[in-house]
Amino acid sequence: MSECFEYVLLKEIISDGSGKELESSYFMEPEEAAFDHIDNVLEKYKRFSIGFFNSLDITCRKTGEWPWAVVLFKEEYKLAGHIVSIRADIEDFTFSAYSIESGYSIEEKGPPPVSYLMIENKENFGTAAKKSQLLGKAWDLLEDKSETRRWVCIADSPSQDWIDKTTENDDRLFIRLYLNQ
């Protein structure tokens, strides 16, 4: 079952005794109801929602970009080439996988799987979703969501026939597109 939850950005401020701000950081905080649902998705990958969002926080702090939406899929898919081939710009949305560990190298391990998306641009994501059953399932959840709020969603899987057809030669497609970036 697909679901969508709101998340907010919390700002942690470290100050000296006089109230002067010394340091600050942002954190993604999904609504409470999201955690059990996300943990159910991550369980088979031996991950938990707290650690997952902690990793996303670190990534977002490094880039300075906080996604409009994060879409989690219930499975990992060998669709990196497909994803790269349908997005207009890398800035529109990025992807990663639950099973990817720190230090992952495409050159050593090959194309990564896809299990979640970080979406920056709603309109461009909607355009890409028209070309993909995988993204279409996510778009079904996000199409009516406000661009002034932030979302974390769990999307249903596309049909197995579509997955089988689309994963054929996907690694080669990814490598070709990756090398031409």
- pLDDT value at 72 more than 90: yes
Encode pLDDT of 39-48 as tens digits.
999 999 999 9
Percent pLDDT > 90 in the chain is 71
Give the SS3 label for residue 28. strand
19 pLDDT more than 80: no
Quote the CA–CA distance of 85 and 82 in Å, as a whole number.
5
8-state DSSP, 105? -
Q: What percent of the chain has pLDDT over 70?
A: 98
What's residue 1's pLDDT?
A: 63
Q: Please give the pLDDT value at position 16.
A: 83
pLDDT of residue 181: 60
Which residues make Cβ contacts (< 8 Å) with residue 171, sequence separation at least 6? 78, 80, 81, 110, 111
**Pair of tokens at residue 145:** 């969501």
How high is the pLDDT of residue 81? Answer: 95
User: Are the C-beta atoms of 4 and 145 separated by less than 8 Å?
Assistant: yes
What CA–CA distances, in Å, run from 131 to 37, 84, 125, 166?
28, 12, 10, 12
Helix (H, G, I), strand (E, B) or coil at 16: coil
pLDDT digits (tens, 9 = 90+) for 101-152: 777 778 888 889 999 999 999 999 999 999 999 999 999 999 999 999 999 9
3-state secondary structure of 118: strand
The pLDDT assigned to 24 comes to 73
Instruction: Return the structure tokens found at 135.
Output: 């993204």
Number of domains observed in the structure of the chain: 1
Range of the domain at 16: 3-179
